[in-house]
A and B are shown apart, each in its own frame.
Chain A
Amino acid sequence: KQEVTQIPAALSVPEGENLVLNCSFTDSAIYNLQWFRQDPGKGLTSLLLIQSSQREQTSGRLNASLDKSSGRSTLYIAASQPGDSATYLCAVRSGGGADGLTFGKGTHLIIQP
């Protein structure tokens, strides 16, 4: 059974710092990996989708990498801003057909003004 782990569970940094969030998964036979952002009590906003054949994806100040063979992904946030404060969730699609996403527990990020 696929398991997804995110480290750290919580992170607090001053505004302007670059930071890295980590995600690992136990079964490397994944199809893709998605990073989401979730604000308190809200739904999920998709940030980046990386297919299993890709090594990285970029969107603005966000860069996600994928090392499928080692079962790891990182989300790099450049020049962090207070508006980046949220919980960041990593999810993998590892079942073909009708399976949904398997999520990690998330990293709760606070950017101090």
Chain B
Amino acid sequence: DTEVTQTPKHLVMGMTNKKSLKCEQHMGHRAMYWYKQKAKKPPELMFVYSYEKLSINESVPSRFSPECPNSSLLNLHLHALQPEDSALYLCASSPSLAVSYEQYFGPGTRLTVT
């Protein structure tokens, strides 16, 4: 099973809402990633988790709060977002942070902030 799942597929939220994105994999991978992709742009790295510990935060605003409660699950908590945060949020995983490994991506959550 080489599948990364993400829920929800679509999310519309107001600027005062609090919501969460969920990512799950059952491949035994110990590295998980959040990427953000704006329309017609390439994905950009947001966060990296290794063995449930945050390894990288690419200067992401605090209104985005990641959480890795266990080795299979990665959440992204959203609060007080801006319309410019509307994007496709992609989750990925790999066996570890070792550079030789392939990253597997989920289908993404399409977020619209109104």
Chain A: residues with CB nearer than 8 A to chain B? Answer: 4, 31-32, 34, 36, 41-46, 49, 51, 89, 91, 93, 96-101, 103-106
Interface centre among A49, A91, A96, A100 (most CB of B within 10 A): A100
B45 within 8 A of A: yes
Given known pairs A98-B97, A100-B45, A106-B42, the reply for A46 and B107 (CB within 8 Å) is no
Told that A46-B105, A98-B50, A100-B45 touch, could you supply 13 new A-B pairs with CB distance under 8 A?
A: A34-B103, A36-B105, A46-B103, A46-B104, A91-B42, A93-B99, A98-B55, A100-B33, A100-B56, A100-B92, A101-B43, A101-B45, A105-B42
Q: Which residues of A contact B35 (CB under 8 A)?
A: 100
Asked if B42 contacts A31 (CB within 8 A), the reply is: no
A-B contact pairs, 25 of them (CB 8 A): A4-B42, A31-B100, A32-B99, A32-B102, A36-B105, A42-B107, A43-B107, A44-B43, A44-B92, A44-B105, A45-B105, A46-B105, A96-B99, A97-B55, A98-B48, A98-B50, A98-B55, A99-B48, A100-B35, A100-B103, A101-B43, A101-B45, A101-B103, A103-B44, A106-B42
Inter-chain CA distance A89–B100, complex, in Å, is 19
Inter-chain CA distance A44–B91, complex, in Å, is 10
Q: Which residues of A contact B107 (CB under 8 A)?
A: 42-43
Inter-chain CA distance A34–B103, complex, in Å, is 9
Chain B interface, >50% SS class: strand
Q: Closest residue of chain B to A45, judged by CB?
A: B105
B29 within 8 A of A: no
Asked if B42 contacts A104 (CB within 8 A), the reply is: yes
Q: How large is the interface on B (under 10, 10 to 19, 20 to 34, 35 or more residues)?
A: 20 to 34
Q: Which residues of B contact A49 (CB under 8 A)?
A: 102
B95 within 8 A of A: no
Q: Closest residue of chain A to B10, judged by CB?
A: A41
Q: What's the minimum C-beta distance from A61 to chain B, rounded to whole angstroms?
A: 20
B88 within 8 A of A: yes
For residues 23 through 80 of chain B, which have their beta carbon under 8 Å from a beta carbon of chain A?
A: 33, 35, 41-45, 48, 50, 55-56
